[in-house]
Amino acid sequence: MADADIVFKSGTELASLIKTRQLSSVDVVRAYLARIDALNPKLNAFITITSEEAIARARQADKEIAAGRYRGPLHGLPYAPKDILATKGLRTTNGSKVTSDWVPAYESTITSRLNTAGAILIGKLNLLEFAMGSGVLSGFGPARNPWDLEHSPGGSSSGSGVALAACLTPLAVGTDTGGSIRVPAALCGIVGLKQTYGRVSRYGVTTLSWTLDHAGPMTKTVADAAMMLQAIAGPDPRDATAAHVPVPDYSKALTGDITGLRVGVPTSYFFDGNAEEVKAVRTAVDKLRGMGAAIVPVDVPHANLAGSAGWIIAMAEGACFHEKRLKDTPELFDPLVRERLEAAKFYPATDYIKSMRVRTILMDEMAQVFRKCDVMAVPGGGPAARLDTPDRARSDIKPGSSAPPFRGGNTFLGDMTGLPALTIPCGFTAGPPVLPLSIQFYGKPFDEATLFRVSHAYESATDWHKRRPPLAAGSTRTTAAAAQSMR
């Protein structure tokens, strides 16, 4: 099988071929490593590439499978985590010069569980510094959106979104404090799941905000996300926030049937964004109605406060976590990270407490929403904007800016309430350049299965997830003709 035929397949497709020995794990790993070698210099998705170790592990996987010791669907599949997850004996940079040489003596629970399941780490992915940098002046430079190199891939799990969209890995891991899994998923046209707070252990994940941080799957398809969550979910004695809640068989949710499923659509706030994305999301909702779902109006009265209140919590907790580093080596930080952390030292405790009160209100309002519906559908938060120039990336204060006001509620709502949310592609801009558009589904606590059900059904009835950036043709700028063909 040609390398292109391998790397363009989903993780579940590759898993089936590896299991039946129609493909070797070595062939799969080599195909991805070759694509990384060809495209990463343009895209800067990977900080570290573990070629020799990955091939050695792939050979071992092939031997185990041939001997009848198949571990499950992840066995022999490559994956790459955001470089904020500790990997024992392998540099973990956090995307920062501050920790550029850190080699952990321990393994994160997520990577440990993936490794135990037989998945093969092929490298560590770029990110906004400490999950909150500029994406331009972060420690290892910006990852670039494969749909157009001059546009942002979103953050902070930027490398994860880029690597999946460009088919540099079939599976990736991201983290999400205010939208850092779902925003890159939206801007890069892939699948991103922020599961329920506590569903997945954060042991070994560098902290940004103790009460908001999540870590979870980023994939090409919904089935891949379900497969990954199956392996990494569950309690962990090393993380007190990891919940002792049973983990269901997520594959059973992938039925394609959403007859009678109640989809809530907010009547205010969420649909005030980009006109092309709003149109695409409403079209997607109409598609769900045609597939048998019941569309019901809902309201989250204080959703507009989720972003600003969440930001106060995240930065206050981040300033506490980074206090010593900020004192010892302030000059090594991305200027934007340093500005945000230094400013957060002056947040009044009363503002933090008020933000936590907003959090309680939002949790109650979402509980009211889910008395009326099974999932809530909102825009994902795109399309991608152009990358900042280095001078503008240094600060949040941008005189003369014409950028739209910060509207973090679409994603911060999930981190503030702890509710699961999943983002999938639902269209493209007219272009040029052609850029992905997305829909995001919110679900009830620990009900990721219903998110998989609705998103998999929509994905199966559309082909947005099958579109690829024109990288194979040697260009990252979509032509007008290509744009027309993708409408």
Q: Annotated catalytic, 324?
A: no
Say which of 156, 355, 438, 455 is annotated catalytic.
156
Q: Annotated catalytic, 160?
A: no
Q: What is the token pair recorded at 12?
A: 């579940």
Say which of 24, 25, 82, 209 is annotated catalytic.
82
Q: Between helices 25-43 and 11-19, what is the axis angle to 10°?
A: 150
Give yes or no for a contact between 161 and 127, defined as CB atoms under 8 angstroms apart.
no
Q: What is the token pair recorded at 184?
A: 């890159």
Report d(CA 288, CA 377) in Å as an integer. Answer: 10
Q: How many residues does the chain have?
A: 487
Assign 31 to helix, strand or coil: helix
Quick one: which of 457, 435, 423 has its CA closest to 192? 423
E strand map for 182-243: 191-194, 214-219
Quick one: which of 171, 169, 165 has its CA closest to 478? 165
Q: CA 366 → CA 300, 353, 410, 416, distances in Å?
A: 7, 20, 13, 11
Give yes or no for a contact between 57 and 35, defined as CB atoms under 8 angstroms apart.
no
Q: Annotated catalytic, 156?
A: yes
Asked if residue 432 has a cis previous peptide bond (ω within 30° of 0), the answer is yes
* CB environment 178-196: b (16+ within 10 A), e (fewer): bbbbbbbbbbbbbbbbbbb
Report d(CA 6, CA 17) in Å as an integer. Answer: 10
Residues 6 or more apart whose CB falls under 8 angstroms from that of 348 comprise: none
Give yes or no for a contact between 174 and 229, defined as CB atoms under 8 angstroms apart.
no
Report d(CA 285, CA 288) in Å as an integer. Answer: 5
The gap from C-alpha 460 to its chain's centroid, in whole angstroms, comes to 21
Assign 278 to helix, strand or coil: helix
Report d(CA 424, CA 259) in Å as an integer. Answer: 20
Neighbours of 448 (CB within 10 A): 28
| Residues classed as catalytic | 82, 156, 180
